[in-house]
């Protein structure tokens, strides 16, 4: 198909089929494009992408600007990262279950855990993390 404005033809898109040299033993395992919506199961009505603001959980590898996939249907579990509402503020915290009580732990040194009471809503458990930069 000609490019607009000149008579040159565009080269065909590379599909991995026509190569020079030896045939790659991995050629049988080439896969097509990755559909992140399918991989992350974003078509479910209870799955939501949430962008992280701040670095409170950088010790867990969750950085400012990362996208968390929150699952509002998942059961809370100790050690999981969760999206919580505390006094009307949306926070990301690690869950801990001790002595019959849920606790929220920040990744920041010296910050005391917060007990989950009627003022705290565990909204979703983080199912995946997406980072669009290195």
Q: What pLDDT is stored for residue 134 in this prediction?
A: 77
d(CA 126, CA 133): 20
Pairwise CA distance, residues 81 & 55, whole Å: 14
* C-alpha dist (Å) from residue 60 to 4, 15, 23, 106: 50, 38, 42, 10
pLDDT at res. 81: 96
What local confidence, expressed as pLDDT, does residue 117 receive?
87
The parts of the chain modelled with pLDDT lower than 50 are: 1-4
Task: Compute the distance between CA of residue 60 and CA of residue 41 in angstroms, rounded to an integer.
Answer: 23
Residue among 53, 37, 35, 47 nearest 73 (CA): 47
Write down the pLDDT at residue 86: 87
pLDDT of residue 2: 47
């Amino acid at each position: 198909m000609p490019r607009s404005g000149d008579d040159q033809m565009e080269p065909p898109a590379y599909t991995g089929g026509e190569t020079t040299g030896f045939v790659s033993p991995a050629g049988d395992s080439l896969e097509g494009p990755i559909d992140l919506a399918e991989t992350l199961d974003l078509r479910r009505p209870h799955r939501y992408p949430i962008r992280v603001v701040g670095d409170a959980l950088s010790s867990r590898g969750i950085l400012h600007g990362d996208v968390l996939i929150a699952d509002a249907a998942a059961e809370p579990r100790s050690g999981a990262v969760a999206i919580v509402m505390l006094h009307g503020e949306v926070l990301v915290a690690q869950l801990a279950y001790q002595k019959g009580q849920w606790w929220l732990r920040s990744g920041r040194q010296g910050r005391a855990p917060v007990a989950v009471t009627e003022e705290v809503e565990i909204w979703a458990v983080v199912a995946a993390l997406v980072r669009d930069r290195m």
